[in-house]
Every structure is written in structure tokens, then in C-alpha cells.
Amino acid sequence: MRMYRRIGATLKRTAIHAGPTILGIIVLDFLLLQLVPGDAADMIASESGSATAESMAAIRQRFGLDQSVLNQLLNFLGHLAQGDLGFSPRYNMSVFDMIMTRLPGTLLLMATALSLALLLGIIVGSVMAAWAGRWPDRVLSVVVLVFYSMPGFWVGLMAVVLFSVNLGWLPSDGSMTVGANLTGWAFVWDRLSHLILPALALASFFIAVYARLTRAAMLEVQRQDFMRTAAAKGLHPFFIQLHHALRNALIPVTTVAGMHLGNLLGGAVVVETLFGWPGMGRLALEAVLARDFSVLLGVLLLSSFLVILANAAIDLLHAWLDPRIGPA
Amino acid sequence: MMTTNRATRRATLIGLSTLPWTLRGALAAPKAGGTLTFMQNNEPQTLVALTTVATPALTVSAKVTEGLLEYDYDIKPRAQLATEWTISPDGKTYTFKLRPNVKFHDGKPFTSADVAYSIQLLKTIHPRGRNTFANVSEVKTPDPLMVILELSKPAPYLIKALTAAEAPMMPRHIYEGTDPLANPNGNAPIGTGPYKFKEWARGSHIIYERNPDYWDKSLPYVDRIVCKFLPDPGARSIAFENGSADIGYRTPVALSDLERLKKLPNLRFETKGTSYSYNVSSLQFNLDSPIFKNLKVRQAIAHTIDRAAIIKTVCYGYGTVTYSPIAPGLKEFHDPSPSPYNLDLKKAAQLLDEAGYPVGANKIRFRVPLDYNPIGDESKRLAEFMRATLGRVGIGVDIRAADASAFVKRIYTDRDFDFLLNGHSNLFDPTVGVQRIYWSKNFKKGVPFSNASDYNNPKVDALLEGAAVEIDPAKRIAMFMEFQKIVGQELPDVSLYSPLYLTIKNVRVHDDSLTADGVEGNMSRVYLDPQ
């Protein structure tokens, strides 16, 4: 019962914070975008390499760019209040539909990358902590340092050269074999084989971060009195490491992971471009270059939603991991 | 016409039958079946090139939506949806006979009503069609298979403007009474083409399926075309290398990667099929700039530029020197005579002295910002080349980078620049592609790729306007020759080179680039070796 109350309170607090945060993000984003030189019509003309005065005027009218900035903002907010993210004249499609075609790809990539980072990071960190100062720790420290200092896209490129070009094991681009009409395990493997390299590229930096965090946190916990008590009780060392040390060490790791979700979305732009992955990061980048601000605002809004949701999930996880963390 | 062309090609190939087996593969009869993976840099915003002429849309449009004509490498017309065409001696009446028994993918017949409707549509909403079809005063449809265009003035370029991608023939029954810009046909097109639209997974791919009811019963050969988009040039190189991409055009990889890729046995490099759109890169001066309104400064800069070195370093050899804004590829119009301002640094220094810019501190005469068009990856290298080149005569260049829209706004709307590196497509005719850069009436603020220099010479205006309506080809060419002489001397810009674009393809792909627009065409005759 207490548990549910705690969860409820956490959710309520998140909801109260989320509303103003999202509104602030939208208005700020909108105003910042007005500072960018050039508009959608300029971009369309630039891609085409030719234009006429009439075609420029027609594009501006269609995008609503002939109206004042305040009108454009009010229009956008008015539509948003009715749950309408707007329409992209560039792609002749509603922004919501457009984002929905990309959202599953991004969620899959981010969830895989984050899980991979957490899983590998925590395992490696635990191993390093358990053998602190001895050779497994030393070797893994070097590996972790390499992952930490190499940019994700470089790891991705090198992995492509090795696994895709030289060995030919994994595909280098896209999210599936187009038009193969696969079913069952063949379908799962096809998707998975396309997912491995981009997820690795996106996760590599975070694996290093979580490994180091886990190592430090576990070493910290190991000096606590309750660890000595647990050992004195005669518990198996493995159980002590897992249940007493790791559970406590997970608090800083999960806190940081929650904050990293925003970074992951940012990193997704690079990885999605590199691997031709149909995700929201690329959509956002294309929208910026094309000055298609209705799409960009939609993506930003949804991303802020995602980050807020993820943080709520992390709060809940904390409440479960550590009963001392309750409603503030 | 089509058959003769195919016969000649075969004859040439038989003549080459001692070549290795990879080339001899092309001799065999085309094989049916297979999936062609067409790699593109960017995703199109629409699948029909009606409301935009952006490259990604041009690339896919013709697979579904065809045009009246197609063209050989020298831009001589051949039949597509029109089987016969005549132009009256005064150049003001065009008569087209249409191919009978052509059906749209939804089963409705293709008739003269569709052509008349499409031409009106192009004239009102197509970015270039507004100019190309401006002189069309009436479109008559005396019977379902005949279309007559009546022009108020001759338009000698019109007959070259009728490719599928440049002047798509739209289904009237789908567009009539709707807002053509918002018509869903743009996202799921219906046309008469060899391939039917099947699926567009945004951000990932487009699938086109073979049209079994195509008007040419023997075509197309391949079952399916998959268009994939990969924005990263390095990733595209890898896709060609490991075979996940079959074909890509306009040099889809970084130029620095070409040497490595050329050594791979599974790739071929095609230079044909690019003659519908030759580009010219140039250094354009803002003649309103206090520095560059002085002819001597412009002459001095012209004297410092080593075009051969640009081809070697900036283009990795993939380009042709040009002294004229009309590309060497448009052979009949291009003036090959060299610039009156040869490579001569001493002369350049002397001209700058005379212009009132003596050498100052740090051997610098003056500093000036240089903008460049960011589309294409050699433009930044070209800017760096210019900085080094002009530095040798004491002109300090500060390169100013911007993304495409910011660049367009700075140059054409704000006009806040001194000189810039830019590229213009000649398209299929100088009146369409070149006139816009020099015609004083096309100095229009806010219109991209107009007369950025603010060049104004009544003589040039008269020549351009004359050539736009001249029906005697010899006289028209003479006018363009004189025009090239004048702009070559007056230097509103310095033309530098015409890039050489390559189509990269897997060895199993054949007959992809048989027309002037190559891969941009309907690709009905492309075929694959079985895997």
C-alpha cells in the first residue's frame, strides 16, 4: 500500500513539473528558431538550384511564413492545444504521422543502446570492483578508457569496416532488408543484425561511463558497515556483491542513465545518419536544414516528453531500489 | 528511333567483343527479374517532380510519371509518350501525336486531355515550368491522341524541356479540382511509367514494382526498384563496396574515395547519362561591392586563377576547365576559347596596384569575406583553394561558412556579400540555365539563383532576349557566342570548371544510362545479371 502511495506521489510530482517545462521548451524553441537565418522557401530553392519570385511567394504562403512571428506562434500553440502537432507542407503530411513513422525506429535503437550500455557497463563495473587493483580490473580499465575516449561514430565506422566490409557478417545500413518479406526467426534475426552495429556505436561511450560509475559506487559501498555485517552473517560473497553492494551502487548509475537519455537522443542524430537508420534524430536534423520548423517543434516536443517520461521511470525505479527515497 | 539507337549500340559492342568477360556481359540479351537497389543521398520531399525540382525528387519521379519525350546523349528528342512531334516553321506551333493504348496505373487511359492539363499545371506551379511554358498561349486537343501547343512567341528551348522529370505528364482525373500542392498523389504517385509505386517507408526506402501493363510489352526487365537514402558519404562508399547498393548517380561518394573504389572488381563507373544537366562552378562578384565594382580588381583575380590546378586538387581530376558560363558539355553553344586574362601573377599584382590596393602590412592588400554554396562537398575545398590562390597576390580571404538556407538568404535576400563560389546548372539549354545569371531583368532580391552579381549590360540583355526567341539555330548560336565573349571580358564572374559526375554501379547492372538524363529517366531498359 505504502509502495503504491509512493509511486502515485512520484507520478503526481512529475506531472506537475512536466506541464510548464514542456510549454517553456516549446516557446523557447520556437523563438530560438526565429533567429536562424533563411527559411523553408530558401532551402527548397537551394535544393532545386532555381526559383522564381512567384514560386518563392507560393512556398512562403503555403508554409504560413507570410504571417507575423506572433501569429505563427499563436497558430502553433492553438493547434497544439487541440492535440494537433501541425502539418508539414514540405512533405505534405501531418507532423504527427511523420513522427510516428520514425518514433518506433528511434525507440528501438535507444532502448537497445541504453540496455546494452547498462548491462555491459554494470557487468564490467562489477567485475572491476570485485577484482579491484588486480589484473582483470587493470585490463578492463584500459578497454573502458578506450571506449570512453573514442567518439561513438568512429567506433561505429570501424565496426562497419570490420564486420560489414571485411567479414561480411552484418549489414552496414538501414533497419531491415527491404522487400525481403521475412517471417519468424528470419525476420527477428534480420532486424537484430541491422540493429547491432548502430546500437553498439551509440552505446560505446555510455558503456564506459556506467562501468566506471559502477566500479566507484561498489567500492564505496564495500567500505560500509552493513557489508561487514553481511559477511559476518556468513552470506556467500557472490550474494553479498549482488544484493548488498550492487543494489546500492545502482542508485548513482540509474540517476546518470536517466540524464543520459537526452544525450542519447542527440547522439542518435549522428548514428542514424551514419547507418541510414530511419529515426527521429535524422528527421530533426533534416528539419533543421530544411527550416521545416513545424516538424522540428514536433520532434522537440516529443523528445522532451520522452525525457520526462524516462525520468519518471527512473524516479520509480529509485523508489523501488531504495525505500529511503520517498515522496519529497 | 529507339530501335536504331539500340542497334548501333549493339554493333559497337560487337566490335569490342575481344574485351574481358565483364564487359561482354553487356552483349548478352537482357535478363528479366531481380531487384535494383538505387542508393540516394537524400530523401525526396515528394515523389513527383511537379512542385519542386530538387534533385532527390527529380531522381525518383520518372520511374512512375513519364514525359512526352526522352533524349539521346546530345539532347536530340526521342519518343516516350509522344510518338511524333512537329514544330511549325515560325516556331510557334508544336504538334504532338500521342502513343495509343497507354494506361495509367489505375487503369484509366492516358489521353491528350491529360497532356493539356499537365502543361497548364506546369505553367502555373512548376518552379521552372513558369518560365519554360510562359509563351504557351493555348493547348488544343483536337482528338484524344493529338496535342497542339500554340505559342505567343517562339521558344526554341521548349522541345528540349519535355523529359519525364522536367515536364511530368500527370493524371488529370486525380488532380482536377484539387490543390495540386496538397494532392496525395505526390506521396503515392500514379502514372504511366514502367514501375508502379508500392511503398514509401519514410526515412528508410521507397519500393517500386514492375508494371506488367506497361505500354512497351517487353519492358521493364527488373521486378523491383528499391530506393534507399543514406546521407553519409562514407557510409555510401561502404554500401557500394559491400554490394548493398547497386547504383547511385552524380558521384554519390566522396571524391577522395573514388581512387580506392575504382580498384574494386565489383564496381563500374559510368560517365554517360549526365548531359541533361551540366553544372558550371564559378566565382561570382557582387558588382555593388566597393571592392569588386572595380574592373581591375576582377581582372587581377582572373589573372591569378589556375583552373587546371583546381581540377587536380579540388575535383580530384573529375572536372573540365571552362572559361565560359555555358558548359563544355553543351557543345554547340560552348565557346572553348580561353579567357583573355591568362594566368599571370605579375599582371595581377600590377592591376591591383593600379586599382589603388598597394601591398600593406603582412603582404596583405585588403581582406574580404568569401561565401560558398554548401551544396556539394567540393565547394568548401574550392573556397580553401581560392584563399590560398588569392593570398599569393596579397588578397586576404576570410571564408564564411553557412548552411544552404542561410547561404541563400545572405546572397539573394540580404545581398550582404562581396564575392562567392557558386554552381549553376546549365540545364538543357542556355536560355533556361544561363540567362538567369546575367539578365538585368532577373536581378531580383529574394529570388535564389537569379542575377546575384547585379550585372547590367543592355547589349547582353538584348542578346539573351534575342536568343530566347530565335528559331534559326545558327543565329542563336552566334548570339550566345557573342554573349560569352562579352561576359568573359567584363567579368561579372569567373567561370572555373564543369564537374564531371559519375554514376557508380555494380557490375551486374546494365543499360541504366541510355538517355541524356540517365538514371533520372524512367530506367525501363535497365537489367541485372542474375545473382
- Out of B131, B403, B408, closest to residue A289 by CB: B403
Instruction: Indicate yes or no: pTM above 0.90.
Output: no
Report residue A296 as a C-alpha cell. Answer: 522540428
CA separation for the pair B42, B232 (Å, rounded): 9
For A55-70, how does the pLDDT look when each residue is reduced to its tens digit (9 = 90+)? 788 888 888 888 888 8
Q: What is the mean pLDDT of chain A?
A: 83
Nearest CA in chain A to B232: A274
CA separation for the pair A49, B200 (Å, rounded): 25
- Looking only at the bridges linking them, the beta strands covering B278-285 and B82-87 are unpaired
Task: Give the model's pLDDT for residue B20.
Answer: 42
Report residue B96 as a C-alpha cell. Answer: 504532338
Interface test mutation site (partner A, options B39, B373, B405, max chain A beta carbons within 10 A): B405
- Out of A38, A46, A165, closest to residue B375 by CB: A46
Residues 6+ apart with CB under 8 A from A23: none
Task: Give the model's pLDDT for residue A326.
Answer: 54
Interface test mutation site (partner A, options B128, B198, B202, B413, max chain A beta carbons within 10 A): B202
Q: Residues B300, B393: contact at Cβ < 8 Å?
A: yes
Distances (CA, A) of A56 to A65, B126, B167, B288, B415: 11, 11, 20, 24, 17
Task: Give the model's pLDDT for residue B474.
Answer: 93
- Looking only at the bridges linking them, the beta strands covering B267-270 and B247-248 are unpaired
Task: Give the model's pLDDT for residue B219.
Answer: 87
Cell 512571428 -> residue: A69
Interchain proximity A48–B409, CB inside 8 Å: no
CA separation for the pair B429, B416 (Å, rounded): 30
**DSSP code, position B338:** P
Q: Which residues of chain B have pLDDT under 70?
A: 1-28
Q: Residues B99, B85: contact at Cβ < 8 Å?
A: no
Q: What is the least distance, in Å, from the CA of A168 to any CA of chain B? A: 8
Phi, psi (deg, nearest 5) at residue A278: -75, 80
CA separation for the pair A35, A165 (Å, rounded): 43
Q: Residues A224, A249: contact at Cβ < 8 Å?
A: no
Nearest CA in chain B to A280: B203
Report residue B468 as a C-alpha cell. Answer: 530566347
Distances (CA, A) of B400 to A95, B368, B394: 34, 10, 19
- Whether a cis peptide bond, with omega within 30° of 0, leads into B220 is yes
Interchain proximity B405–A62, CB inside 8 Å: no
Task: Give the model's pLDDT for residue B28.
Answer: 61
Interchain proximity A165–B230, CB inside 8 Å: no
CA dihedral B411, B408, B465, B140 (to 10 degrees): -160
Interchain proximity A282–B203, CB inside 8 Å: yes
Helix A184-222 vs helix A135-149: angle between axes, to the nearest 10 degrees?
120
Interchain proximity B128–A276, CB inside 8 Å: no
Half-sphere exposure for B367 (CA within 13 Å, toward CB): 5
- Out of B35, B53, B413, closest to residue A179 by CB: B35
DSSP string, A200-263: HHHHHHHHHHHHHHHHHHHHHHHTSHHHHHHHHTT--HHHIIIIIIIHHHHHHHHHHHHHHHHH
ipTM over 0.85: no
CA separation for the pair B161, B139 (Å, rounded): 16
Task: Give the model's pLDDT for residue B15.
Answer: 38
Inter-chain contacts counted by CB atoms under 8 A, chains A and B? 177
CA separation for the pair B280, B327 (Å, rounded): 6
Task: Give the model's pLDDT for residue B27.
Answer: 53
Chain A residues near residue B409 by CB distance under 8 angstroms: 37-39, 42
Q: Residues B211, B194: contact at Cβ < 8 Å?
A: yes
Task: Give the model's pLDDT for residue A23.
Answer: 83
Confidence of residue A3 (pLDDT cuts 50, 70, 90): low
Task: Give the model's pLDDT for residue B9.
Answer: 41
Interchain proximity A276–B229, CB inside 8 Å: yes
CA separation for the pair B520, B273 (Å, rounded): 8
- Out of A53, A179, A290, closest to residue B447 by CB: A53
- Out of B45, B407, B424, closest to residue A46 by CB: B407
Closest listed residue to residue A152, CA positions, set A259, A282, A273: A273
Name which residue leads in pLDDT, B280 or A186.
B280
Chain B residues near residue A291 by CB distance under 8 angstroms: 405
Report residue A194 as a C-alpha cell. Answer: 541491422
Closest listed residue to residue B248, CA positions, set B264, B263, B265, B226: B226
Confidence of residue A1 (pLDDT cuts 50, 70, 90): low
